Structure 1
Amino acid sequence: MIGLVITQIAVIALLLILGWAVRFKKAYWLISGFASRPEEEKESLIENRYPQKIGSLLIGTAIGMLVLLPLSFTEFRFAAEAQFGFMLVILLGGLVYLSRYEVPAKRKRSYIIASILFIVTFGPIVYLTVSSHKGYEMALEEDSFEISGMYGDKWDYRDIQSVQLLEEMPEVTWKQNGIGLPTLAQGHFKVTGYGSSLLFIQKEHTPILYIEVKDEQIFVNSKDSSETQIWYEELKKEAEKQTKPPA
């Protein structure tokens, strides 16, 4: 929580400083590619107030993020997503809009590049956010169990080596390849005492079901504690069946 807030404040401060330098101190060289342009293009852009508007865009984005910052201290769980989502929409959308102030010869190309950048950057983020909020589901089948959603897979009961029901989630040290949201951890994370593990965790909900399958460690739970308990009992029963010697 504290680390995330510090990161947000640092981003706000950076945007404010850059915007102030460009807008009020005429540090136009801070704008990507501006310093290498021909002098006549620089003069035309300054006359059109293109670099000044870039500075104003940075300052406006920072102010908007600052207004949203108090959400981090409330019970609203998606404060970080709202703040950084706002930043991306305003910055990328602003660049598309400001293409109209480019020099005429490069205006169309600038608009196309800015639009592509907006789509390429924001499109996957929207997809990942929507997919992650769909979460996951666990299905217990006849010979296997399956966890659906991103990073999900299917595992045979015969490969289960251990099933435990934990009262709380062990410490997660860092994300390797996954989605880490205020309410959800889904994907590959380093877990103290377990190493690289596959997590499907609804945060602030217990208990936690731990499943060891060959060389893979899986942590999963449900928002409904009774459902997690059912998963544990069913998987434990199936695992015990596999270890029983044939009659």
Structure 2
Amino acid sequence: MWGLLIVHVSVILIFLLLGWAIRNKEGYWLISGFANRPKEEQEQLISNGYPQKVGGLLILTSVGMLILLPLMFTSFKYATEVQFGFMTIFLMAGIIYLTKYEVPKKRKRSYIISISLFILIIGGIGIASYFSYQGYELVTKKDSFKITGMYGDEWAYEDIASIELMDNLPEVTVRTNGVGLPTLSKGHFKVTGYGSSLLFIQKGSSPYIYIEMKDKKVFINDKDPELTRLWYQQISEKTKE
């Protein structure tokens, strides 16, 4: 919670300071590629009000994110997604709009690039979100078990050092390479008392299975507590064979 809050506030402050420096202190060099343009183009862009409007876009983005920030202190589960979704869409739409202030000879090219980037970024986020929300299953085989879906893998029963059914999940502190959603944690995280671990967790759905292997620590559960217990029973029996 506090880590996310620090990230959000930091992004807001960065956008606000950049926007203020560009708009009020003529820090036009802060705009990507502006300093490398011919002097004639720079003067034309300034005359069109392009740098000032870029600064204004950054300030408005920070204000919008600040308005949405209180959502993090409510029970609304998708506060992070809403805030960063607003940031991405508002910035990209603003960049497309600002192409009208480009120098005439580069306006069409800039418009095409901006639209293409918007489609690629939004499309990429959409695809990533789709796969992130996809579920997973624990499948037991004769000599191994497999966890399906993103970050899933297959492990031999003989590699299991211990298995435990927990009523409470230890504190998850840092996401190192994974998906952290309001209702789901999937991927590589740091867990208090366990270190680097692989999580497949439906939040708030006790119990949780902890499997410790030679080179991996795995936490997994399902929304259905009975299915979680069944997985635990199946793997426990296999480790005794």
Give the TM-score normalised by structure 1. Answer: 0.86
Q: How far did residue 220 of structure 1 move?
A: 0.3
Greater Cα shift, 136-145 or 228-237: 136-145
Q: Are residues 1:130 and 2:130 paired? A: yes
RMSD (Å), alpha carbons: 2.2
Q: Which amino acid aligns with 2:110?
A: S
Residue-by-residue CA offset, 1:29-57 (whole Å, 9 max, x unaligned) = 22122223222212211222211221221
Q: Which amino acid aligns with 1:38?
A: P
Equivalent residues of 1:161, 1:214 under 8 A apart: yes
Structure 2 SS opposite 1:168: coil
1:3 aligns with: 3
2:118 aligns with: 118
Aligned positions of 1:82-93 closer than 5 A: 82-93=82-93
- Give the distance between the partners of 2:139 and 2:19, measured in 1 at CA: 51
Q: Are residues 1:43 and 2:81 paired? A: no
- Give the distance between the partners of 2:194 and 2:60, measured in 1 at CA: 45
Residue-by-residue CA offset, 1:56-85 (whole Å, 9 max, x unaligned) = 211221122122112111111110111011
2:78 aligns with: 78
Change (3 A) 1:215 1:24: closer
- Give the distance between the partners of 2:181 and 2:46, measured in 1 at CA: 42
- Give the distance between the partners of 1:115 and 1:141, measured in 2 at CA: 48
Equivalent residues of 1:23, 1:52 under 8 A apart: yes
Q: How far did residue 176 of structure 1 move?
A: 2.6
Change (3 A) 1:198 1:69: same
Counting aligned pairs with the same residue, the percent is 56
Equivalent residues of 1:147, 1:154 under 8 A apart: yes
Structure 1 SS opposite 2:210: strand
Structure 1 SS opposite 2:178: strand
2:96 aligns with: 96
Q: How far did residue 136 of structure 1 move?
A: 2.0
Q: How far did residue 95 of structure 1 move?
A: 1.3
Q: Which amino acid aligns with 1:220?
A: I
- Give the distance between the partners of 1:165 and 1:3, measured in 2 at CA: 29
1:191 aligns with: 191
Give the TM-score normalised by structure 2. Answer: 0.88
Equivalent residues of 1:161, 1:239 under 8 A apart: no
Structure 2 SS opposite 1:36: coil
Q: Structure 2 regions of 5+ residues with no counterpart?
A: none
- Give the distance between the partners of 2:150 and 2:83, measured in 1 at CA: 24
- Give the distance between the partners of 1:7 and 1:157, measured in 2 at CA: 40
2:148 aligns with: 148
Q: Which amino acid aligns with 1:94?
A: G
Q: Which amino acid aligns with 2:239?
A: A
Greater Cα shift, 71-80 or 38-47: 38-47
Q: How far did residue 141 of structure 1 move?
A: 4.3
1:234 aligns with: 234
2:160 aligns with: 160
Aligned positions of 1:17-36 closer than 5 A: 17-36=17-36
Q: Which amino acid aligns with 1:128?
A: A
Q: How far did residue 142 of structure 1 move?
A: 5.0
- Give the distance between the partners of 2:50 and 2:29, measured in 1 at CA: 13
Q: Which amino acid aligns with 1:146?
A: K
1:244 aligns with: none
- Give the distance between the partners of 1:25 and 1:155, measured in 2 at CA: 59
Greater Cα shift, 35-44 or 140-149: 140-149
Greater Cα shift, 45-54 or 172-181: 172-181
Equivalent residues of 1:144, 1:155 under 8 A apart: yes
